């Protein structure tokens, strides 16, 4: 293990041989396209399909009333329908689907659909949403409010702690909404098998949940539905929700008796969204005279768009990780997630934990400066120890934060270089912690959350069946390595069969950084069980054959349920995890003070990954996280004008190119977490948490101005520089 | 994928045939790097499209006694790599290399630069998006969202190479079945984003003539990313015996020229003359503030004659 080997799926991906949903073609297949709402909030008065259906090549249609069953990714947020029913709630919401023999015909027919709307007053900002007399986006809800969820938790006595602190920083911050930009847009192909069973090929992170949702929405027994996930071109959280793409293709396939494909256009991915919640935040953070963290008092309001998605969970994530990675006994937070007439927000890499990091890490930096303390040393001093239990009951396990901090301080030359880089160049630091899978699944039962079957073939091949969803992050590679390691064979012998709800045992999916940890543990159990069947001291092939002779096909089954820890607080179902990863980052920036154009020159990122099961994959995840953080810090924003996405294209929604991507130095810290598979922890999300605040703190070091509102656009940086020079005069 | 509307494509191999096609209403496609995305956005749905790719004579770079004639079909990569261009017109080569990305430079042509449509955040959008804002004066609507009280369109000139071509005194050679004519590049553009281009629909740009360079030119482009992005601001400056000149573009339908004796006066004149509007995602005050800065920087980049 621990070597830097090419991924088992690497060659297929880079040579274009990996098969994605849109590569699939079926006999008699038709394609469907959506007609989307041009209004942020409007009643649907009438829908006239006559002209569209008259177009030669059009084979069918679907409207919302045909399938009014509500769904959503979590039980407390089922407020969506496959197509709008009665009214539309955001610009870009699908209202009608038209199926035709080819894309061009469907597109042309869509433009002939005549929908009459009666516009309603729209809720376009957080203030709109929270106003006394705000129009209700979901009037059918029990409570007459646009607030989806409020969370309020208090641990210790924050007011007292802050009253006794040597310095208290009180600031307001804002964090932008952003979207995932998976290279592969969402796509699904649905067909009804000859025996009447439904198969949906989908670009999804969560085949299992999608399977359940399809059954509920279509009114089918679960055993009559199968979800297959081919190769997926990334998700970053954007492919966790069940969507109109899968549900409409499935509905239409049954209605028309033909395979139906829906593949979104890039513009539509911006409407599908489920991206980062824009949040306004307020923080009071205090340091005691000895540099220890006195307390954190925090508020956040997130504008969530028109549907719930995972928004209830987001409201918790905005607060529950305030108790990490620093020891703090006095914490209080009030968060809320509201509905607005905009495309729905949802989970994006570092779900809900990213936004508060900006507030905490910048306020901590400011507090350290006020006390004349080194920001790196203050973080080191406050790092939680191994086995720490946080004020809100999170049980830490191993913690490599001190080693992470030491590593980035050393690698970046922090002590020698900070403050000495000359004008307009600076270093900033930030740290964080993230979960390795949510302890509590989306629906609660006693069944395992991950499972694996290992079959040893008499040919010597090892077939690993797992219900996981490799979306490009390399989960199949890592699971194959774990399997090979436990069996003591070369990884080349392992074939992974995954992402198929009929062939594979259940796994809950690729979210909350759970796959390596949860499925990895299941694979260990399955491989060990299979290995138990083998006689000892016999070469591989002979061992399998002997075992098969004596007891039939050699199969091992394993599963994983996380330990029931971290549930000290009844309300605390969000946050607890079997282990936590830790990250420290130093960013170096260079600012053009006249134009305000900022460049991130280099980022050093040390991450406590427990045990690196494939160094290349771990480093790749770190690079991807930092890259995404740089985008959110400087370039990206899912912004709206009167409810209309300003830039639904990759031309104007500016993800960094290779030129804007800094040199990234990934440093892997290994703490061998006892609860993790072979000691491993997550690395897919955590490393993004410190990037934006590290850049903010580096900007301060460079230009002597603190910026509280991301993204740090040239315009904002320029204004800040000008304001500071006026102040200095 | 966003599908193209249906159209009929012809690929003549002679200029004469191409001229007949445009006289007959066909829309010209050169590299297609702007026309095709715009057609996907349903900004244009021409029944007939005529490709210039098969006309070899349009893809030549012919050195003259003192200057150069660029065939309109030369790709930006052809131009940027041409030895004579590099020697005599280095700012043009530099400008070609700031367009979009290397792949687009390998397809997009210099003729397409000269004829490039004006751009606006309300215009360069997919059809459904434009419907959600009710269209605008430039396409399918009754108001301008950038200047709602006005009657004009302010969509901005966006071609990277035009300010440098302007200061190199480029002359555009046009052909049609009705006859040929020449127009100095600086007289080609108008003040409304809908009718900015002084090329008739039945005309083709055949070549761009560059006289012997009378001045040294520096090209600058402001954008947040070093690739892909269109300019938030384009500036070219030149110094000759007559003094300093600056052309500022990406701020309105027509590039704006100012002249002055000193760098400071030039920057001030540019700042006074240029009024960017909300046609870009970048905020207007920032783009305006950059005019002065970028003109000064460009002048600093000039090599003394
Ligand atoms: C992602 C992306 C980024 C871009 N970024 C930039 C940028 O940063 N800067 C920039 O300047 N451009 C940019 N472009 C636009 C475009 O690539 C270039 O302007 C290119 O030079 C256009 O040339 P073309 O041959 O592809 O034009 P086409 O798309 O073929 O044509 C463009 C227009 O010119 C007309 N036309 C073309 N040739 C002639 C002719 N000989 N006679 C008469 N009319 C003609 C066409 O009818 C059409 O209206 C970008 C494009 C894309 C897709
Ligand atoms: S400037 Fe006005 S009229 Fe012109 S494209 Fe933009 S919004 Fe339309």
Q: Integer distance in angstroms from the first to the last C-alpha of chain A?
A: 60
A128 touches chain B (CB under 8 A): no
CATH code of the region A13-120+186-263: 3.90.1170.50
The pLDDT score that the predictor gives to residue A22 is 97
Could you tell me the CA-to-CA distances from B41 to A3, B38, B127 in Å, in that order? Answer: 48, 5, 5
CA distance A499 to A207: 6
CB contact at 8 A, A521 and A231: no
Longest dimension (CA), chain A: 89
| pLDDT (mean) for A411-433 | 96
Q: Do B170 and B227 fall within a single domain?
A: no
Taking each helix axis from N to C end, the angle separating A714-728 and A691-703, rounded to the nearest 10 degrees, works out to 40
Task: Check residues B303 and B95 and name the one with the higher pLDDT.
Answer: B95
Residues B63 and B148 in one domain: yes
Band (A568; pLDDT cuts 50, 70, 90): low
Over range A545-557, report the average pLDDT. 97
Mapped onto helix, strand or coil, the DSSP state of residue A117 is strand
Q: Which pLDDT score is estimated for A569?
A: 55
Q: Which residues contact A611 (CB under 8 A, 6 or more apart)?
A: A1, A2, A670, A672, A673, A676, A678, A679, A680, A681
Span A42-62, pLDDT tens digits: 999 999 999 999 999 999 999
> What is the number of helices (H) and of strands (E) in chain B?
11, 12
Cα nearest neighbour of A91 on chain B: B132
Is residue B239 within 8 A of residue B302, CB to CB? The reply is yes
Q: pLDDT at residue B16 above 50? A: yes
Residues B65 and B206 reside in one and the same domain: yes
pLDDT digits (tens, 9 = 90+) for A205-223: 999 999 999 999 999 999 9
CB atoms within 10 A of CB B224: 18
Per the CB < 8 A criterion, the answer to whether A553 and A461 are in contact is no
Q: Are residues B167 and B281 in the same domain?
A: no
Q: B211, B238, B267: which is the final residue of a domain?
A: B211
Identify the H or E element spanning A691: helix A691-703
Q: Which of B252, B253, B255, B295 minimizes the C-alpha distance to B271?
A: B295
- Cα B55 to chain centroid, rounded: 22
Segment A526-530 shows an average pLDDT of: 98
For a ligand 2 pocket test, name from B117, B118, B123 the mutation site with the most ligand atoms within 8 angstroms of its C-beta.
Answer: B123
Domain count along chain B: 2
Give the C-alpha separation, B105 to B132, whole Å.
33
Share above pLDDT 70 across residues of chain A, in percent, rounded to a whole number: 98
The Cα A265–Cα B65 span in angstroms is 51
Question: Do B169 and B240 share a domain, yes or no?
Answer: no
**Domain shared by B89 and B148, yes or no:** yes
Chain B residues within an 8 Å CB radius of A634: 224
Tell me how far apart the alpha carbons of residues B255 and B209 are, in angstroms, rounded to a whole number: 19
- Which of B126, B133, B224 is closest, CB to CB, to A635? B224
Q: Tens digit of pLDDT for each residue in B144-187?
A: 999 999 999 999 999 999 999 999 999 999 999 999 999 999 99
* Span from the CA of B116 to the centroid of ligand 1 (angstroms): 5
- Whether A728 has a pLDDT exceeding 80, the answer reads no
pLDDT of B30 above 60: yes
- CATH number of domain containing B160: 3.30.465.10
Testing ligand 1's pocket by substitution, the residue of B2, B12, B99, B103 carrying the most ligand atoms inside 8 A of its CB is B99
How many CB contacts within 8 angstroms connect chain A with chain B? 81
Residue-level pLDDT at A515: 97
Nearest CA-CA partner of A235 in A634, A573, A623, A513: A513
Does residue B87 share a domain with residue B229?
A: no
Indicate if the alpha-carbon torsion angle B258, B263, B268, B270 is positive or negative. Answer: positive
Q: What is chain B's mean pLDDT, rounded?
A: 96
Instruction: Identify the nearest ligand to the CA of B109 by its number.
Output: 1
Interface of B with A (CB under 8 A): 1-6, 121, 124-129, 131-133, 222, 224-230, 281-283, 285-286, 289-290, 293
Cα–Cα distance, A53 to A70 (Å, whole number): 27
Same structural domain for residues B82 and B105? Answer: yes
Confidence of residue B8 (pLDDT cuts 50, 70, 90): very high
pLDDT value for B241: 87
Q: Give me the count of residues in chain B.
A: 305
Answer whether residue A729 shows pLDDT above 60.
no
Task: Please indicate if any CB of chain B lies within 8 Å of the CB of A647.
Answer: yes
Specify the pLDDT at position A3.
67
Task: Clarify whether residues B187 and B239 are in a common domain.
Answer: no
Chain A positions touching B227 (Cβ under 8 A) are 657-659
Which is the closest atom of ligand 2 to the Cα of B154?
Answer: 1
- Cα B13-B19-B23 angle, rounded to 5 deg: 140
Instruction: Find out whether the beta carbon of B41 lies less than 6 Å from any atom of ligand 2.
Output: no
Please state which CATH class domain A447-560 belongs to: alpha beta
| Residue B61 C-alpha, separation from nearest chain A C-alpha, in angstroms | 31
Closest-approach residue (CA) in chain B for A37 = B132
- Does one domain contain both B192 and B222? no
- CATH number of the domain enclosing B281: 3.30.390.50
Mean pLDDT is lowest, of A241-250, A388-397, A562-571, for A562-571
In a domain, B18, yes or no: no
pLDDT at position A174, please? Answer: 98
In a domain, B23, yes or no: no
- Asked if the Cβ–Cβ distance from A266 to B2 is below 8 Å, we say yes
Which positions in chain B touch A92 (Cβ < 8 Å)?
128, 132
Hey, is the C-beta of A107 within 8 angstroms of any chain B C-beta? yes
Does the pLDDT of residue A85 top 80, yes or no?
A: yes
Mean pLDDT of all residues belonging to chain A: 96
Residues B62 and B190 both lie in one domain: yes
Q: Is B158 in the pocket of ligand 2 (CB under 6 A)?
A: no
Residues B145 and B164 occupy one common structural domain:
yes
Q: Which of B194, B211, B228 is the last residue of a domain?
A: B211
Least CB-CB distance to A654: which of B126, B225, B289? Answer: B225
Percent of chain B with pLDDT over 70: 99
Decide: A295 and A161 in contact? Cβ < 8 Å: yes
Supply the pLDDT for residue B199. 97
Long-range CB pairs of B218-221, under 8 A, 24+ apart, other chains included:
B218/B91, B218/B298, B218/B299, B218/B301, B218/B302, B219/B91, B219/B92, B219/B94, B219/B95, B219/B98, B219/B160, B219/B163, B219/B164, B219/B298, B220/B294, B220/B297, B220/B298, B220/B301, B221/B95, B221/B98, B221/B160
Q: What are the pLDDT digits (tens) for A289-347? A: 999 999 999 999 999 999 999 999 999 999 999 999 999 999 999 999 999 999 999 99
Is B193 a residue whose pLDDT tops 60?
Answer: yes
Cβ neighbours of B7 in A, within 8 Å: none
Portions of chain A given CATH number 3.30.365.10: 351-439+575-728, 447-560
Write down the H helix ranges in A533-614: 540-551
**What pLDDT does residue B305 have?**
42
Residue A638 confidence (pLDDT) above 60: yes
Q: Which residues line ligand 1 (CB under 6 A)?
A: A 651; B 27-35, 37, 52, 72, 76, 99-100, 104, 107-109, 111-113, 115-117, 158-160, 199, 204-205, 228, 230
Whole-angstrom distance, CA of residue A384 vs CA of residue A401: 8
Report the pLDDT value the prediction gives residue B230, as an integer from 0 to 100: 97
Residue A566 pLDDT: 53
Mean pLDDT of the A90-119 span: 97
Looking at the domain assignment, is residue B87 inside a domain?
A: yes
**Residues 6+ positions from A27 with CB-CB distance below 8 Å:** A259
Any atom of ligand 2 within 6 Å of the Cβ of B189: no
Residue B153 CA: nearest ligand 2 atom is 4
Positions of CATH 3.90.1170.50 in chain A: 13-120+186-263
Using alpha carbons, select from A647, A637, A640 the residue that is nearest to residue A40: A640
The whole-number average pLDDT for the span A4-21 is 92
Q: Do A657 and B1 touch (CB under 8 A)?
A: no
- pLDDT of residue A570 exceeding 60: no
**Residue B11 above 90 pLDDT?**
yes
Tell me if A38 and B290 make a contact (CB, 8 A cut-off).
no
Mean pLDDT of A421-427: 95
Architecture per CATH, A351-439+575-728: 2-Layer Sandwich (3.30)
CB contact under 8 Å between B4 and A104, yes or no, is yes
Could you give the C-alpha distances from B131 to A321, A625, B120, B135, in angstroms and in order? 43, 36, 15, 6
Convert the pLDDT of each residue in A246-289 to its tens digit.
Answer: 999 999 999 999 999 999 999 999 999 999 999 999 999 999 99
Tens-digit pLDDT profile for residues A163-181: 999 999 999 999 999 999 9
**pLDDT tens digits, one per residue of A112-159:** 999 999 999 999 999 999 999 999 999 887 788 999 999 999 999 999
Residue where a domain terminates, one of B192, B211, B230: B211
Q: What is the dihedral of CA A325, A327, A332, A336, to 10 degrees?
A: 10
Q: For residue A719, what pLDDT is reported?
A: 96
**C-alpha span between A614 and A472 (Å, rounded):** 14
Q: What is the separation of C-alpha A97 from the centre of its chain, rounded to a whole number of angstroms?
A: 28
Q: Give the closest of A594, A652, A660 to B281, CB-based.
A: A652
Alpha carbons A408 and A430: distance in angstroms, whole number: 10
Residue A370 is predicted with a pLDDT of 97
Q: Can you tell me the distance from the alpha carbon of A20 to that of A184, in angstroms, rounded to the nearest whole number?
A: 8
How many Å lie between the centroid of ligand 2 and the Cα of residue A638?
22
**Which pLDDT score, from 0 to 100, does residue A721 have?**
94
Check pLDDT > 80 for residue A636.
yes
Please indicate, yes or no, if residue B52 is contained in any of the structural domains.
no
ipTM over 0.90: yes
Domain span at residue B92? 57-211
User: Which of A419, A510, A507, A431 lies closest to A473 in space, CA to CA?
Assistant: A510
CB contact at 8 A, A189 and A21: yes
pLDDT at A141: 78
Q: How close is the Cα of B110 to the center of ligand 1, in Å?
A: 8
Residue A492 makes CB contacts below 8 A (sequence gap 6+) with none
In the beta sheet, which residues pair with residue A500? A228
Q: What number of other Cβ atoms are within 10 A of residue B147's Cβ? A: 15
- The answer to whether the pTM exceeds 0.95 is yes
Query: What is the pLDDT averaged over residues A445-452?
Result: 94
Per-residue pLDDT, A571: 55
């Amino acid at each position: 293990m621990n070597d830097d080997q090419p991924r088992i799926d690497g060659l297929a991906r880079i040579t274009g041989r990996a098969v994605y949903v849109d590569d699939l073609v079926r006999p008699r297949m038709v394609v469907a396209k959506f007609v989307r709402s041009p209004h942020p909030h409007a009643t649907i008065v009438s829908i006239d399909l006559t002209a569209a259906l008259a177009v030669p090549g059009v084979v069918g249609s679907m409207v919302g009333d045909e399938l009014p069953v509500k769904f959503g990714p979590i039980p407390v947020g089922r407020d969506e329908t496959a197509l709008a029913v009665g009214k539309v709630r955001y610009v870009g919401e699908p209202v009608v689907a038209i199926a035709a023999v080819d894309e061009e015909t469907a597109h042309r027919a869509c433009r002939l659909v005549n929908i009459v709307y009666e516009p309603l007053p729209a809720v376009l900002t957080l203030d709109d949403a929270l106003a006394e007399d705000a129009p209700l986006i979901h009037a059918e809800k029990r409570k007459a409010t646009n607030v989806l969820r409020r969370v309020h938790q208090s641990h210790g006595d924050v007011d007292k702690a802050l009253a006794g602190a040597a310095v208290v920083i009180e600031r307001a911050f804002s964090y932008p909404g952003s979207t995932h930009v998976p290279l592969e847009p969402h796509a699904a192909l649905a067909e009804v098998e000859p025996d009447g069973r439904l198969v949906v090929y989908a670009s999804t992170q969560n085949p299992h949940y999608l399977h359940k949702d399809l059954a509920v929405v279509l009114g089918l027994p679960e055993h009559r539905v199968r979800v297959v996930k081919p190769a997926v071109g990334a998700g970053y959280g954007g492919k966790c929700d069940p969507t109109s793409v899968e549900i409409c293709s499935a509905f239409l396939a049954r209605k028309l008796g033909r395979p139906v494909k829906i593949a979104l256009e890039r513009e539509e991915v911006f409407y599908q969204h489920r991206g980062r919640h824009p949040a306004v935040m307020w923080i009071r953070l205090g340091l005691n005279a000895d540099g220890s963290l006195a307390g954190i008092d925090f508020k956040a309001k997130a504008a969530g768009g028109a549907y719930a998605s995972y928004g209830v969970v987001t409201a918790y994530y905005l607060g529950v990780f305030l108790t990490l990675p620093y020891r703090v006994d006095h914490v209080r937070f009030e968060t809320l997630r509201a509905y607005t007439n905009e495309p729905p927000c949802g989970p994006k890499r570092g779900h809900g934990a990213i936004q508060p990091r900006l507030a905490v890490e910048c306020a901590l930096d400011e507090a350290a400066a006020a006390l004349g303390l080194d920001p790196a040393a203050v973080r080191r001093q406050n790092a939680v120890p191994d086995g720490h239990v946080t004020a809100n009951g999170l049980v830490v396990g191993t913690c490599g934060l001190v080693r992470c901090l030491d590593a980035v301080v050393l690698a970046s030359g922090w002590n020698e270089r900070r403050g000495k880089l000359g004008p307009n160049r600076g270093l900033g630091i930030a740290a964080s912690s993230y979960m390795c899978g949510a302890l509590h699944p989306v629906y609660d039962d006693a069944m395992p959350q991950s499972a694996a079957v290992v079959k040893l073939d008499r040919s010597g091949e090892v077939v690993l069946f797992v219900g996981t969803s490799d979306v490009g992050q390399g989960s199949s590679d890592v699971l194959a390595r774990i399997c090979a390691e436990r069996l003591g064979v070369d990884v080349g012998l392992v074939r992974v069969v995954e992402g198929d709800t009929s062939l594979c045992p259940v796994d809950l999916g690729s979210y909350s950084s759970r796959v390596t940890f949860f499925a990895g543990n299941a694979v260990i159990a399955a491989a060990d069980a299979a290995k138990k069947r083998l006689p000892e001291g016999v070469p591989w092939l002979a061992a399998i054959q002997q075992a098969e002779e004596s007891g039939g096909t050699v199969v091992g089954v394993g599963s994983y349920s996380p330990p029931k820890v971290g549930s000290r607080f009844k309300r605390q179902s969000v946050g607890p995890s079997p282990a936590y990863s830790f990250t420290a980052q130093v960013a170096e920036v260079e600012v053009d003070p006249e134009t305000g154009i900022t460049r991130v020159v280099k980022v050093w990122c040390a991450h406590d990954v427990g045990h690196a099961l494939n160094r290349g994959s771990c480093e790749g995840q770190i690079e991807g996280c930092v890259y995404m953080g740089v985008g959110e810090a400087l370039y990206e924003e899912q912004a709206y004008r009167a409810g209309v996405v300003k830039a639904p294209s990759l031309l104007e929604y500016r993800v960094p190119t290779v030129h804007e991507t800094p040199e990234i130095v990934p440093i892997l810290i290994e703490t061998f977490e006892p609860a993790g598979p072979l000691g491993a922890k997550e690395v897919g999300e955590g490393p993004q948490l410190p990037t934006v605040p590290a850049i903010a703190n580096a900007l301060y070091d460079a230009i002597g101005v603190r910026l509280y509102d991301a993204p740090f656009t040239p315009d904002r940086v320029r204004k800040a520089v000008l304001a500071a020079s006026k102040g200095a005069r | 994928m966003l599908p193209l509307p249906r159209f009929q494509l012809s690929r003549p191999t002679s200029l004469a045939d191409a001229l007949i096609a445009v006289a007959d209403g066909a829309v010209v496609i050169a590299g297609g790097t702007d026309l095709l995305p715009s057609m996907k956005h349903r900004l244009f749905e021409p029944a007939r499209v005529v490709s210039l790719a098969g006309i070899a004579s349009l893809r030549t770079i012919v050195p003259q006694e003192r200057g150069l004639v660029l065939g309109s079909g030369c790709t930006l990569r052809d131009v940027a790599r041409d030895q004579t261009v590099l020697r005599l017109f280095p700012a043009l080569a530099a400008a070609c290399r700031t367009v979009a990305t290397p792949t687009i430079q390998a397809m997009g042509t210099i003729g397409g630069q000269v004829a490039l449509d004006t751009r606006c955040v309300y215009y360069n959008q997919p059809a459904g998006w434009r419907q959600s804002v009710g269209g605008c004066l430039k396409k399918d609507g009754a108001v301008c969202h950038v200047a709602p009280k006005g009657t004009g369109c302010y969509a901005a000139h966006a071609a990277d190479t035009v300010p440098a071509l302007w200061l190199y005194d480029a002359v555009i050679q046009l052909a049609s079945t009705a006859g040929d004519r020449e127009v100095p590049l600086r007289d080609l553009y108008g003040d409304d984003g809908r009718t900015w281009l002084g090329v008739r629909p039945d005309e083709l740009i055949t070549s761009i003539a560059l006289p012997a360079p009378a001045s040294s030119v520096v090209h600058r482009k402001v954008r947040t990313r070093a690739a892909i992005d269109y300019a938030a601001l384009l500036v070219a400056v030149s110094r000759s015996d007559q003094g300093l000149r600056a052309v500022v573009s990406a701020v309105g339908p027509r590039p704006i020229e100012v002249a002055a004796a000193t760098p400071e006066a030039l920057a001030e004149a540019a700042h006074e003359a240029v009024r960017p509007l909300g046609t870009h995602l970048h905020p207007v005050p920032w783009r305006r503030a950059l005019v002065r800065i970028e003109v000064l920087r460009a002048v600093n980049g000039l090599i003394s004659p």
